[in-house]
Structure 1
């Protein structure tokens, strides 16, 4: 049950960051914001892949 709750929280975080990322790509926010969100997504993906094994 704990893992399911963690994934729900991560889903909300990723959705919010995706909206912020889109605003950065459109030019409403500095591009560096989108850059760091991309790095966070890559690290999160690697951690989730390693955690599932």
Structure 2
């Protein structure tokens, strides 16, 4: 299950970075947004593990 979550996260990050590249968003902003997203997703996953 965790592997599925990581695969989905990796796919989302790839899509977001691709969109950011196409729209020409400054890299610093994109990296900051990805870092925030990664922290949120890590928090969600860790909470899911605590419930199980």
Aligned residues: CA RMSD: 2.4
Note the residue ranges of structure 2 that are not aligned, 5 or more in a row.
47-52
Alpha-carbon distance between aligned partners in 2 of 1:16 and 1:9, rounded to the nearest angstrom: 11
* Runs of 4+ residues deviating >3 angstroms: 35-38
Q: How many residue pairs get matched? A: 40
TM-score (norm 1): 0.53
1:1-53 matched pairs, under 5 angstroms: 2-25=1-24, 31=25, 35=29, 38-39=32-33, 41-47=34-40, 48=42, 51=46
- Structure with the larger RCO, 1 or 2 (CA within 8 Å, 6+ apart): 2
